[in-house]
Amino acid sequence: MLEEIKYYRTYDPGQPIMFEGDEMQFLASVVTGSVKLSRTLPDGRKQMLGLLLPSDFIGRPGRKNVDYDVEAIQKVTLCCFRRKPFEAMIEKTPHIGQRLLVMSLDELEVAREWMMLLGRKTAREKISCLLSLIARRYASLHLKSIGGRQSFEMPISREAMGEYLGLTIETVSRQMTSLRKDGLIEIAGSRTITIPDLAALMAETGDYIEAPMMNETHSLTQHRV
């Protein structure tokens, strides 16, 4: 059914997909790559509002204009649906609407989690949050346990980290150095991160109780990840 109205588009890293206020003729689903949503104030201050990964959805039924910039981070393939037929299909196929509902509720949850981070966390906590988030995502992607030592490639630049966390690039860099000096992370070539002890890093996020006598495995299991 959806087959009939879909087509594919690809974008290179750094390429804009659409701008705030644009009228979008299609809705889309991310097939490969990653996409960032952001918004910029007139004076240039920029805040990333969301990070879309494969299976995430762009656009909303019933409204033509997007209210943020959309940009490809890595090479991206979108599966696009023309608006009119897609909206008609939602009417006829409740299952799709229900799927979209669950997805948008998930995004809402993520956005609210991020509000807590942006509004109340310190720079060190923000960086720790982001790093352990990515570490856990990589671990689950590669089916590894989140217990021991692990490495990954940082998918975004320092600048993008700043935009995501509501920090300047200099503060990001300084906090990375600080975490490195404290032995919580290791950095090779500025993009390759190694985390010797994820539990220790997560203790810096502010999300967990400062427990004096709690072993590491325990601290990982008693809270949701």
Partner DNA sequence: CGTTACGTTGACTCCCGTCAAGATCCGTGG
Partner DNA sequence: CCACGGATCTTGACGGGAGTCAACGTAACG
Give how far Cα 189 sits from Cα of 153, 154, 186, Å: 10, 11, 10
Query: Which of 20/186 has CB closer to a copy of itself?
Result: 20
Please choose, from the candidates 70, 86, 81, the residue with its C-alpha nearest in 3D space to the C-alpha of residue 11.
70
* 47 near DNA, judged by CB under 7 A: no
Task: Write the binding mask 138 to 157 for DNA: x where contact by CB under 7 A, - elsewhere.
Answer: -------------------x
Query: Which of 14/212 has CB closer to DNA?
Result: 14
Part in contact with DNA (CB under 7 A); list of ranges 60-68, 90-98, 117-125, 210-218: 117-125
Q: How far apart are CA 61 and CA 87, in angstroms?
A: 6
By rule CB under 7 A, what count of residues binds DNA? Answer: 21
**Shortest CB 136 distance to DNA, Å:** 21
Burial of 197 (0-12, 13-18, 19+ CB in 10 A): middle
Part in contact with DNA (CB under 7 A); list of ranges 15-23, 71-79, 129-137, 186-194: 186-194
* 50 near a copy of itself, judged by CB under 8 A: yes
**Shortest CB 140 distance to a copy of itself, Å:** 19
Residue 157 binding result from DNA, a copy of itself, none, given CB thresholds of 5 to 8 Å by partner type = DNA
Spell out the residues 6+ positions from residue 206 whose beta carbon is closer than 8 angstroms to its own.
121, 122, 125, 128, 129
Q: How far apart are CA 168 and CA 178, in angstroms?
A: 15
Q: How far apart are CA 179 and CA 88, in angstroms?
A: 52
* 168 near DNA, judged by CB under 7 A: yes
**Shortest CB 190 distance to DNA, Å:** 4
* 166 near DNA, judged by CB under 7 A: yes
Beta-bridged to residue 80, according to DSSP, are 7, 28
Instruction: List strand residue ranges (DSSP E) for 41-166, in order.
Output: 46-52, 57-58, 69-72, 76-82, 150-153
Beta-bridged to residue 153, according to DSSP, are 192
**Shortest CB 98 distance to a copy of itself, Å:** 5
Beta-bridged to residue 188, according to DSSP, are 192
Residue 31 binding result from DNA, a copy of itself, none, given CB thresholds of 5 to 8 Å by partner type = none
For residue 109, what is the enclosing H or E element? helix 94-120
Part in contact with a copy of itself (CB under 8 A); list of ranges 27-35, 45-53, 136-144, 169-177: 45-53
**Shortest CB 57 distance to DNA, Å:** 27
Which residue ranges make up the site for DNA (CB under 7 A)? 122-124, 157-159, 166-174, 176-177, 187, 189-191
